Structure 1
Amino acid sequence: MAVLRPMENPGSSIISAFGAGSGVDFVQLANDLSDASFSFQRENLQSRNEALEARISAASVLRNSLTNLASALGDRIRTGDLAPRATIGDPFIAEVSTTPGLTPTGTYELEVSQLADSQTLVSQDFGAVDDTVGEGTFRIRFGAVDGAGFTEDTSQTPLEIDVSDIDTLETLAGKINSASGGALDAYVANGSGGAQLVIKGQQGASNGFTIEGESSAAVPTSTPGDLSYLSWQPATDAGELRQTAQDALFELDTVPMNSASNTVTGLPEGIVLDLSATNIGSPTTVTFANDSSAITSVMSDFTAALNDLVGVLNAEGAALGGTLGNDPGTRELKRDLSRLTSETVMPNVEEGEPSTLGDLGLSLNRDGTFELDTERLTATLDASPDGAAAMFTTGAFGVFATMDNLARDNSLRTDPGSLGGSLVRYEALIENNDERLTRIAEQQETLRSRLTRDLVAAESRISTSQSTLSFLQQQIDAWNGSN
């Protein structure tokens, strides 16, 4: 087996070939000289990049903290945390909520005359759950059942289920559930008279249904074991229909309305009703009032979040020792925050109505931190609860819009005076330094190759000179010996 030997350095091999004997490793010497020639430039650029990376990290933390603050504020508004609180005179009639981002006000009158319901159909009796139902096509059409009449809803595609000669009540129920995709709920019940197929639809008058059991038998018998036995039409109902599908019917401020579901949306000002009982002839009242305690809670949390941001800003932007001590984006953010309490967030409001964050109790301390003036906030809530509530929306104006604009402005990468602009500048500087490091590496390699070549040549010349001197010395010694 051949023995693998370590690859020799080409320069060392060349020197050995010339019979070098000086004991100096000229290849390593060339490496050391070329590295020393560029080490200061390389280390200086690497040090600059490390400082730039620290600046990018700090600026990103500030930018993300500001963006997250605005986003969290928007989430609390959108999820209804600050929406007016609803109360209903008779809580057994309905539960009341609001659509996130909308703020109903005032009082409404609600009278419910009918709840939404779904159709329930119970088949005629079978001997057992594993009785076969007969081969054929089980077809279900959707629409409105009205007494003995049926009006098909052509916007809903009929279900056509293939039934084999081995399908039982249980397997048919499974096929109905699968084919309907949740529009129907089918199961088998063991009643006192035997096994029965129960099918329930969805709420709403248009979600009633009929059944056509199209038997593959030459002469359908409409008896157990023949698919036609499961057919049902309202005109021939023999007690199978246990509940008719219907809409919810109610009046809101005496205006008649209907809904296919007991959960009613799309009402004025974003009101959402979850109906649970009727109150014919006894209307109840729904009242919306601003929740002052929720506004106080949000302002307290908002002040704390601002101070967390200011803490990072003061540490990173400190003139002495701060990573972003002379960064223009950091200075601009400080200026923006210093103006925050006096900035008008609700323009065009009537005189005396709250329009600034200062009106909501936000005050600025000398060290740049914020404080919540609860006395001023309470005074604003007492004098203008609606005006204070109006400041917490997701519209073009208000507290959220102000913070969202502040976050966006300070994140603009096209603005050299913003944190976003600072990030662009630092990233460009790192890219430029990386290019210079690449050029330095190329120049260092060129110098190393040239030094290696020159030192190898010098070693060769030294070796030749040593051989000549040795020959001459031998001749001289020979001459002296002969004398």
Structure 2
Amino acid sequence: MDNPGSSILTALGGGSGIDFIKLADDLSNASFAFQRTTLESRNETLQTRISSASLLRNTLTQLASALGDRIRSGDLAPQANVGNSAVADVSTTSGVVPKGSYSLEVTQLAQGQTLVSKSYGSKDDLVGEGSLTIRFGAVDGASFTEDTSQTALDITVSDTDTLATLASKINSASGGSINAYVAQGTGGAQLVLKGKEGANNGFVLEPTSAATTPTATPGDLTYLAWNPASDAGELRQTSRDATFKLDTIEMSSASNTVKGLPEGLGFSLKATNIGAPTTISFSNDPAKITGVMQDFAAALNDLATSLNEEAAAFGGTLGNDAGARALKRDLAQLAGQTVMPGAAEGEPSTLADLGLKITREGRFELDTERLNETLASNPEGAAAMMTTGPFGLYATMDKLARNNTLRTNPGTLGGSVLRYEAQMERNDEKLEKIAAQQESMRSRLTSDLVAAERRIASSQSTLGFLQQQIDAWNGSN
């Protein structure tokens, strides 16, 4: 496309006939072409390196994350075997591997208090204006001992509240500590209150009537009053703790869901077995550990293949990259690295004990014979390496991934990405300066050349006038 300025000059028929505006563009562009091309080429190389380093970095992170998900899913954890499965379900804490066997005797299940009020005609009967206080604590026979660590519930009851709306207010105020509902039975409507499991989760009802003379009859709030000393059959179940013996040691829990036991054990108690303790043992599934190690070796090979291609000494995008070299070194040492520093002599302590080995060509393989020997001789030790605890397979890979992807360490892949991004940013700044300098040169050359064009045009005009005079003189002769 022609420059508008040069087109106007040409249309006027002035000047030398040279397109000085285009000439200014070409000269300014040529003056900075080498610098600009060099920087753009460098940026292309840096972008390729960023892509390669980021790919390796993400692959490594995803490998560690997938391994953690696999272990956390629970299929590698030792499976509990309960001799009498009707007594309890067993759970374990992530990262902790129970050893040996345990005896469990459940002597009492935890339960919550159940209170059923005296009868009303229907759920829509008014209960009477006033306030209802519910205090929590232990009910023992005719006595009640308040648990002052639990805040009492103070519920305002209006003159329009029915048995049904009062149940809703109790549920809202209790935050789950009491479940209230109205049951319509053969004897009428009754308010049912059910507390949480645990001896100290019992409760008493202390209503205050707004009536001048409370009558303790339906329609007066004091009709709902209850404490164990005045019980007339309203108490249907007393709250209590669960009691059990673990390896003959007596223990108790406010809930049938028991946590925080030794060796990371947890129970969900379901029935009592007084005088007939059941045995809890743990076993591992060797096939699942073998499957994980096979998948792990394959994933490492994929990572190693990509790394060898990207970091090849000749032709590799990251051939001289410090982060790629560090990852190569860490992977080469992985199989022989001690991952269970606390393992006793003879117990598995390295990934080589789980069958992982690396060939001279840098490929990872699974030595199934070595793995099977470990699983046969020390299944508990092998299982201990398959947890999300501070040591073992996952902890080692997680640490390797983190150490090789830190952006704050210049000797890692993360540091390489940061360095390349900084170099690209500096190059972009240089390109911006070059563009500004080129524009300044173009503007200056345009001004100078247009001025020269005007001078040439003026000279041509003078030359034309002189030529006419000379021609006139010659004609007169």
- TM-score normalised by length of structure 2: 0.91
Letter in 2 for 1:164: S
Structure 1 position 236, deviation (Å) = 1.1
Matches within 5 A, 1:110-125: 110-125=104-119
Task: Work out the CA distance in 1 between the residues paired with 2:122 and 2:8.
Answer: 98
Indicate whether 1:339 and 2:345 are aligned: no
Deviation string 1:322-379 (CA, Å, 9 cap, x unpaired) is 3223323223322322222223333464443323222211122343221212121111
1:394 is displaced (CA, Å) by 4.2
Q: SS of the residue aligned with 1:217?
A: coil
Pair 396,100 (structure 1): closer, same or farther in 2 beyond 3 Å: closer
Count of aligned pairs between the two proteins: 475
Q: 2:254 aligns with which of 255, 260, 263?
A: 260
The aligned amino acid for 2:367 is D
| One-letter amino acid of the structure 1 residue matched with residue 76 of structure 2 | L
Residue in structure 1 matching 2:33, options 39, 59, 64: 39
Deviation at 1:477, TM superposition (A): 4.9
- In structure 2, the CA distance between the partners of 1:206 and 1:20, relative to structure 1 (3 Å rule), is farther
1:461 to 455, 462, 466: 455
Distance 1:460 1:411 in 2: 64
Q: Map 1:67-466; keep pairs closer than 5 Å.
A: 67-78=61-72, 80-347=74-341, 349-466=343-460
State the AA in 2 paired with 1:329: G
Contact 1:329 1:419 in 2 (8 A): yes
Contact 2:323–2:411 at 8 Å: present in 1 too?
Answer: yes
Match of 2:53, SS? helix
Q: SS at the partner of 2:274? A: coil
State the AA in 2 paired with 1:226: D
Q: Structure 1, residues 6-48: CA drift from partner, whole Å, max 9, x if none?
A: xx98x779979x9956665544442333223223321321222
Contact 1:80 1:101 in 2 (8 A): no
Contact 1:125 1:196 survives alignment (8 Å): yes
Shift of 1:241: 1.5
* Counterpart-to-counterpart distance in 2, 1:394 and 1:184: 38
Tell me how far apart the structure 2 counterparts of residues 182 and 269 of structure 1 sit (CA, whole Å). Answer: 31
Cα–Cα, structure 1 residues 189 and 19, in superposed 2: closer, same or farther, change >3 Å? farther
| d(CA) in 1 for partners of 2:183, 2:83 | 41
2-structure distance, mates of 1:309, 1:66: 7
What displacement does 1:443 show? Answer: 1.2
Please tell me whether the aligned partners of residues 128 and 161 of structure 2 are also in contact (alpha carbons under 8 angstroms). Answer: yes
RMSD: 2.6
Q: Aligned partners of 1:392, 1:206: CA distance in 2, in Å? A: 40
- Say if 1:458 and 1:122 are closer, same or farther in 2 by CA, change over 3 A: same
Instruction: Determine helix, strand or coil for the equivalent of 2:155.
Output: strand
State which drifts further: 272-281 or 363-372: 363-372
Report the identity percentage. Answer: 68
Q: Name the SS of the counterpart of 1:185 in structure 2.
A: strand
User: TM-score if structure 1 supplies the norm length?
Assistant: 0.90
* Cα separation, 1, equivalents of 2:344 and 2:123: 73
Q: Residues of 1 paired with 2:403 and 2:44: CA distance?
A: 27
The answer (yes or no) to whether the contact 1:119–1:203 under 8 Å persists in 2 is yes
Distance 1:244 1:468, change over 3 A: same
SS where residue 454 of structure 2 aligns? helix
Q: Would you say the 8 A contact 2:6–2:22 is kept in 1? A: no
Note closer, same or farther for the CA distance 1:347–1:230 as it changes in structure 2 (3 Å cut).
Answer: closer
Residues 113-122 or 19-28, more deviating: 19-28
Q: Distance in 1 between matches of 2:311 and 2:99?
A: 45
Asked if the contact 2:324–2:413 (Cα under 8 Å) also holds between the matched residues in 1, the reply is yes
Question: Structure 1: which amino acid aligns with 2:131?
Answer: T
SS at match of 2:176: coil
Q: Does structure 2 retain, via aligned residues, the 8 Å contact 1:159–1:179? A: yes
For 2:385 and 2:250, the matched residues in 1 are separated by 34
Match of 1:5 in 2: none
Q: 1:94 to 1:396 in 2, by over 3 A?
A: closer
User: Is residue 88–residue 287 contact of structure 1 (8 Å, CA) maintained in 2?
Assistant: yes
1:47-72 CA-to-partner distances (Å, cap 9, x unmatched) read 22122122112112212222332333
CA contact (8 A) 2:113 2:194 kept: yes
Provide the C-alpha distance between the structure 1 equivalents of 2:24 and 2:108, rounded to a whole number of angstroms: 96
Partners of 1:341 and 1:108 lie apart in 2 by 35
Q: Give the secondary structure class of the aligned counterpart of 1:109.
A: strand
Partner amino acid, structure 1, of 2:252: N
State the distance in 2 between where 1:469 and 1:91 align: 119
The answer to whether the 8 A contact 1:77-1:394 is kept is yes
Deviation at 1:191, TM superposition (A): 0.9
| C-alpha displacement of 1:147 | 1.6
What CA distance in whole angstroms lies between the structure 1 residues aligned with 2:342 and 2:256? 41
In 1: Cα distance, 2:168 partner to 2:392 partner = 54
- Measured after TM superposition, the shift of residue 163 of structure 1 is 1.6
Q: Distance in 2 between matches of 1:23 and 1:149?
A: 117
Deviation above 6 Å: which 4+ runs of structure 1?
11-16
